[in-house]
Structure 1
Amino acid sequence: MKAALRQFIRFGWEQALSCLFPVVIFASLAVTQLIQIPWLPRYDLLLLICLAMQGWMVHSGLETRDEVKVITMFHLIGLALELFKVHMGSWSYPEEGYSKVFGVPLYSGFMYASVASYLCQAWRRLKVELIKWPPFSVVVPLAAMIYLNFFSHHYWIDARWWLSALVLLVFWRTWVTYEVGGTRYRMPLALSFVLIGLFIWIAENVATFFGAWEYPDQSVSWRIVHFGKVSSWLLLVIVSFLIVATLKLVKDRQAPVQLGIMG
């Protein structure tokens, strides 16, 4: 029991370090709701905090330049989704800000980037490896279909449950292994998707409570985000993981080739 408890504490510590960027964002949401700067709107202050945090993580070595490239890509992907969803009325950012573009504050992209930051950090800290990963020719189109469904379901059918079933089919035999305190563990990849999606839904409730954004049914007073949103976050996590995993695997395959050329 003592050994299991030590491993659990080690795992929690590594997860906490991996979640540093998201934790800073949530802490900033709470602090900026209580403390306001008269000449600087809250959304703009949050953007400055996110930029400073990103710069510090690179300068301190907590994030590599390659990881920053991945995170930047997620920022742009998330911002594109935010612009569309706000336009469609799915949620809103009711406060004023100089850095708002078509009703979307630019800091919002960092909330998606923080998910990528967590995945990159956890991948490196826990020495993640994938077993029986499907071919890229299957993974890339699946990620694209999931992302496009966030847009297309406003005009056509919502295929999220079909896509979820397809994810289970594609990754049925895929496992993720990770290391804690020198001991390796493994779990089904689909289970890790569900767990991460559930924790992000919990974080979403915290974020909306502190006014990060606002759903239509929260305009009068805050209420718990509908549990059905877990499915949306689950699919977004899958897209995020597929992109990070694909880039990591491509880089790992290129490394031996580069070493061979140098030799």
Structure 2
Amino acid sequence: MLNHSVTCGVLLGMHGFLGGVGQLLRFAVMQARCCAFAVALLGGIAVSRVLPELPIARYDLVLVYGILLTVGARMMGWESRRDTLVIAACHVVGLLFELVKVRLGSWSYPEDAVTKIAGVPLYGGFMYAAVASYVCRAWHLFELRFTGYRAAATAVVAAAVYVNFFTHHWLPDLRWPLAAAMVGVTAGAWVGFTVGRRRYRMPLAVSFVLIGFFLWVAENAATYVGAWSYPHQLEGWEPVALGKFGAWALLISVTFVLAERLKAAEGTESRAAG
């Protein structure tokens, strides 16, 4: 009888372990699907670097590729019409960010191009569009739902985060106070998500930190393939400073707020139509 109980316990433990591994694999596959646009964009930039010399500048070629990728994603059903608006809005917001930061010397695009304005190629906004695509895809695939989320307060802090990334060149850098403010306004806010048949949840602030870390990893990959260059990378690639991890953890809040507001409007319209 004792041996039977032990055997049952081992089998149950193995079942639980294998179930956990299965859920982890499902989660990884879903994350990969969410990153499809970003991976395709980064892959295209990497390929553009090893192409033979062409009559079109590399940055211009990447812009054309990004536009075709966006159209293709819409046609394949990766994004809804509302998602496309979110992505376009983040592209514009990101391009404005690029124009200011490049002018201030934070990073640069050293190659020539026809579609380059004030030192910034127009494809630069696609980096932020890729982040927005990830958020929108995750919204659908993981069936994201939020509890305890304070939309107005979070939007105010996210706007202040965005502005601070410009003003810290002339005024005191409020990054740490803003990080504390973001933790404060998202306290009690949870994001629920589905993996397989099970629902999970995590604090919204933790999701910002996790996404920020993987964006920092992606930024290392992007600078390695020549998407842009920081001053310390002009003589040869070096890893992006770890401090950028914190910057991305804050900046993702801007993308999230834009997506949440447009998604909320989409939900309101759907209820009104019903």
Task: Identify whether the pair has TM-score above 0.5, normalized to the shorter chain.
Answer: yes
CA distance, structure 1, for counterparts of residue 146 and residue 83 of structure 2: 19
Offset, 1:202: 0.5
Q: Which has the larger radius of gyration?
A: 2
Find the partner of 1:114 among 130, 142, 158. 130
My pick for the range that moved more, 9-18 or 81-90, is: 9-18
- Tell me the residue number matched to 1:36: 52
Cα distance in 2 for residues equivalent to 1:89 and 1:201: 19
Counterpart of 1:86, as a letter, is V
Q: Are residues 1:209 and 2:242 paired?
A: no
Deviation at 1:36, TM superposition (A): 3.2
Which of 235, 239, 245 is the equivalent residue of 2:260? 245
Amino acid across the alignment from 1:109: G
Letter in 2 for 1:49: Y
Aligned AA (1:164): A
**2:89 maps to amino acid:** M
Report which stretch shifted further, 177-186 or 34-43: 34-43
* Conserved 8 A contact 1:83-1:104: yes
C-alpha distance in 2, partners of 1:78/1:55?
Answer: 19
State the shift of 1:37 in Å.
Answer: 4.0
Q: Is residue 2:181 matched to residue 1:166?
A: yes
Post-superposition shift, 1:251?
2.4
CA distance in 1, matches of 2:136, 2:97: 21
Letter in 1 for 2:231: P
The sequence identity of aligned pairs, in percent, is 41
The reply on whether 1:98 has 2:114 as its aligned counterpart is yes
Match of 1:51 in 2: 67
Say if 2:107 and 2:228, in contact at 8 Å, map to a contact too. Answer: yes
- CA offset at residue 137 of structure 1? 2.8
Counterparts in 2 of 1:74-223, with a 5 A limit?
Answer: 74-134=90-150, 136-223=151-238
Unaligned stretches of 5+ in structure 2?
Answer: 1-16
Query: What amino acid does structure 2 have at the position aligned with 1:137?
Result: A
Structure 1 runs (4+) deviating above 6 angstroms are none
Q: Is 1:143–1:243's contact at 8 Å kept on the other side of the alignment?
A: no
- Give the distance between the partners of 1:25 and 1:204, measured in 2 at CA: 13
1:178 Cα deviation from its structure 2 partner: 0.3
Q: Measure, in 1, the Cα distance between the counterparts of 2:180 and 2:67.
A: 38
- Is residue 34–residue 133 contact of structure 2 (8 Å, CA) maintained in 1? yes
Contact in 1 for aligned 2:82/2:266 (Cα 8 Å): no
Amino acid paired to 2:48: T
Deviations 1:47-66 (A, max 9, x none): 11111110011112111111
Q: Which runs of 5+ in 1 are unaligned?
A: none
The letter for the 2-side match of 1:127 is: E
User: Distance in 1 between the 2:89 and 2:263 partners?
Assistant: 14
Q: Is the 8 A contact 1:18 1:118 kept in 2?
A: yes
Answer yes or no: is 1:64 the counterpart of 2:80.
yes
2:240 is paired with a residue whose SS is: coil
**CA displacement at 1:138 relative to structure 2:** 1.4
Could you tell me whether the CA contact under 8 Å between 2:87 and 2:129 is conserved in 1?
yes
CA apart distance, 1:4: 1.0
**Cross-structure match for 1:26:** 42
Deviating more after overlay: 240-249 vs 75-84: 240-249
CA–CA separation in structure 1 for the residues paired with 2:259 and 2:52 = 36
| Corresponding residue of 2:8 | none
The letter for the 2-side match of 1:253 is T
Work out the CA distance in 1 between the residues paired with 2:76 and 2:209.
32
The answer to whether the 8 Å contact 1:82/1:104 transfers is yes
Q: Which amino acid aligns with 2:209?
A: V
Written as runs of structure 1 = structure 2, the 5 A alignment for 1:5-24 is 5-24=21-40
